[in-house]
Amino acid sequence: MITKMNHTSIFVLDQDSAYDFYVNKLGFKVNTDAQMGPKGRWLTVNPPEQPDLEITLMAIDDKMMFDKSSAAKMSELVAAGTFGFGTFLCDDMLATYEELKAKGVHFKKEPAHEFYGFSAVFQDDSGNWFSLSERPK
């Protein structure tokens, strides 16, 4: 029986820039930052209240997961904002929105009360988008 998810991946165009985005803008914690020799860098972060979920900031290149042609296609799709990788929760939507805006985060959809809850959509520095939802009070 599967019990929980402990690793998931977000494909990023540049790991240094993604590090800055996820750590300094979103406030995530670095879990693992390991140099893997010629195969690149294994970089994972945790959402602040989820120390047992590692999100891998996976470089899109031809060193490990992709061949050259797939990496080029993937980079193009990510940069075009094709992929939504999940939903993040916050305790207070308006405060979180204001803070992320102040830090330069781009919102594709500003906060609104929808039939499914109070939510917004923002993009990371690569173009991946995420829903942001307020935890029900």
Partner 1 sequence: MPDQEFPKLYLYRRIVQAKLFIDAHSAERIDATDIADEACYSKYHFIRTFRDIYGKTPHQYLTAVRVDKAKALLETGMPVTEVCLSVGFDSLGSFTGLFKRRTGVTPSTFQRERLARRQRMDKAPLSFVPGCFAALYSGRENSNTREAT
Residue numbers at the binding site for partner 1 (CB under 8 A) = 6-7, 32-36, 39, 42, 56, 62, 64-67, 70, 91-92, 94-95, 97-99, 102, 110-112
Report the nearest approach of partner 1 to the CB of residue 115 (Å).
17
Rounded (5°) CA angle 96-101-105: 105
Neighbouring CB atoms inside 10 A of 21's CB total 23
Report the nearest approach of partner 1 to the CB of residue 99 (Å).
5
Nearer to partner 1, 3 or 6 (CB): 6
Q: Kind of pairing, strands 129-134 and 41-46? A: unpaired
Q: Is residue 119 a contact partner of residue 2, using CB atoms and an 8 Å limit?
A: no
Nearer to partner 1, 1 or 67 (CB): 67
